[in-house]
Amino acid sequence: MQILLLGPPGAGKGTQAKLLAERLNLLHLSTGDVLRQNVANKTALGMEALPYMESGKYVPDDLINRMVEDQLDSPAAAEGVIFDGYPRTLNQAETLDALLERKGRPIAAVIVLDITDDELVERLSGRRVCSGCGAIYQLKSMPPLKPDTCDHCGAALYQRVDDNEETVRTRLKVYAEQTSPLVEYYTAQRKVRHVDASQGIEKTFERVMALLGGEG
Ligand code: AMP
């Protein structure tokens, strides 16, 4: 089963994708996470991607498409994938369609997480990420039990460099210009299901599961 999560930065794609991947036993493929790992390991890909990421712009399609193709070839992807943050451009959507068609694994559903810009800016400025296991926190709605420390693995939490207000505004603009047209692209394929993502993690997850035909 291949499922796409579409929505602006801060809508909760990463959080919902993790929950879905666990529940449905699928690979969680976040292009943002793969890029950040490459940056941390100082690979050639990471060094090329870094300036785009720091300024909130998109990394060029050919780099991203090649990276995803590699990930899809791994055995972990065989049962199906939750795509988080990919595709983000029409070129990426068309590339993914062609790739999945070749593999005989069509997209089952595209979940669109709907939320307002004001809520996104507030959410992202309070977002913290675990440096050990990648767990995501929100200082207001989902704070860690101990400040700056992950509840799950005890590692330190950090703030993403692109979660400052100025970069967040750029990311929202880039999303509106380059990614929101994908909602129409997949609506034409009759794959889109909309979810109100302002209602909190559990409620949103229940709704997503219901839309996928399971229980939350
Ligand atoms: P994310 O963690 O999904 O918010 O991604 C963080 C940053 O990585 C984005 O702001 C982009 O610079 C880059 N990135 C992640 N996924 C993509 C993609 N599919 N296409 C282009 N750039 C991406």
Q: What is the pTM of this model?
A: 0.90
Q: Is the pLDDT of residue 128 over 60?
A: yes
Active-site residue flag, 36: no
37 confidence band (pLDDT: 50, 70, 90): very high
Q: Is the pLDDT of residue 201 over 80?
A: yes
Residue 58 Cβ inside 6 Å of ligand 1? The answer reads yes
Q: Is the pLDDT of residue 203 over 80?
A: yes
The pLDDT value given to residue 166:
87
Min mean pLDDT across 50-54, 89-93, 99-103, 162-166 is at 162-166
Q: Is the pLDDT of residue 156 over 90?
A: yes
Residue 9 Cβ inside 6 Å of ligand 1? The answer reads yes
The pLDDT value given to residue 215:
57
Share of the chain above pLDDT 70, in %: 99
Among 36, 123, 171, 207, the one annotated catalytic: 171
The pLDDT value given to residue 213:
87
For the chain, what is the mean pLDDT?
94
Cβ neighbors of 74 (< 8 A, separation 6 or more) are 27
pLDDT tens for 161-193 read: 889 888 888 999 999 999 999 999 999 999 999
Residue 52 Cβ inside 6 Å of ligand 1? The answer reads yes
Q: Is the pLDDT of residue 84 over 60?
A: yes
141 confidence band (pLDDT: 50, 70, 90): confident
Q: Is the pLDDT of residue 216 over 80?
A: no
